[in-house]
């Protein structure tokens, strides 16, 4: 087994930003498991699967082969041979990924890929159930969170900087809805592992959060 650092937490807590910094510092690979769920969601959208049709989700997801590779140290998600990295960050994909990731068969499809990466490499892996379910024996576990207001704020600023039109209240409502779905599903819900440290980034800078986690992983 490689050295495994598991970072879980809700959407918008800064997991990927922090995980990338920690991975760089430690010279580990960064594994973004949300991107794998997003690739499957993209395949479901392309096949016109409805958000309430879990039977079709299972059927179509079984045709979606997801793998990852690294280009210049950046994770790329491959869906049936196509690099879909640039296509999985839309709101539509976020919504479908949040719904379809609750389907047990879809979680099972990705479990072995994630465990294999952690067996064969030193990894910083982020997601929702890494410390609780995928890598229960990870040497380091972090539950990274922030208030819904602060996470909505960050997302709002990011969209405004990109010149996109957006509404703060709508962003906040979407975040709360996603938290609820991710935390209340029956299979591998989002929750802090008993042996994870809790880091609340609401009033911390990126550098402070990265330093806290890097110090913990020494």
Interface residue list for ligand DC (CB under 6 A)? 11, 33-34, 37-38, 97-98, 101, 127-130, 178, 182
The DSSP result for 119-154, as a single string, is HHS-EEEEESSIIIII-TT-SEEEEEE--HHHHHHH
Query: Which of 30/37 has CB closer to ligand DC?
Result: 37
Asked whether the beta carbons of 76 and 83 are under 8 A apart, the reply is yes
Q: CA–CA separation, 164 vs 170, rounded Å?
A: 14
Closest approach of ligand DC to the CB of residue 72, in Å: 21
Query: Which of 84/97 has CB closer to ligand DC?
Result: 97
Query: Which of 11/213 has CB closer to ligand DC?
Result: 11
Q: What are phi and psi of 76, to 5 degrees?
A: -120, 135
Query: Which of 33/54 has CB closer to ligand DC?
Result: 33
- C-alpha to C-alpha distances, 13 to 88, 127, 153, 196, 203, nearest whole angstrom: 19, 11, 11, 16, 11
Closest approach of ligand DC to the CB of residue 187, in Å: 9
Closest approach of ligand DC to the CB of residue 131, in Å: 10
Closest approach of ligand DC to the CB of residue 183, in Å: 10
């Amino acid at each position: 087994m490689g050295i495994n650092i598991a970072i879980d937490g809700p959407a918008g807590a800064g997991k990927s930003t922090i995980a990338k910094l920690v991975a760089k510092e430690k010279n580990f690979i960064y594994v973004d498991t949300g991107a794998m769920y997003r690739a499957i969601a993209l395949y479901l959208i392309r096949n016109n699967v409805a958000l309430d049709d879990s039977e079709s989700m299972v059927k179509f997801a079984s045709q979606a082969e997801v793998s990852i590779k690294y280009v210049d140290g950046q994770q790329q998600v491959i869906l049936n041979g196509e690099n879909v990295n640039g296509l999985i960050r839309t709101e539509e994909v976020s919504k479908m990924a949040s719904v379809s990731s609750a389907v047990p068969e879809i979680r099972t499809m990705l479990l072995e890929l994630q465990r294999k990466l952690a067996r064969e490499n030193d990894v910083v892996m982020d997601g929702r159930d890494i410390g609780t379910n995928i890598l229960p024996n990870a040497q380091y576990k972090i539950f990274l969170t922030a208030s819904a207001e602060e996470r909505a704020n960050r997302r709002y600023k990011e969209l405004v900087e990109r010149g996109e039109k957006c509404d703060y209240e709508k962003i906040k409502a979407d975040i709360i809805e996603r938290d609820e779905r991710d935390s209340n599903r029956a299979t591998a819900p989002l929750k802090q592992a008993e042996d994870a440290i809790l880091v609340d980034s609401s009033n911390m800078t990126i550098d402070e959060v990265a330093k806290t986690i890097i110090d913990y992983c020494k």
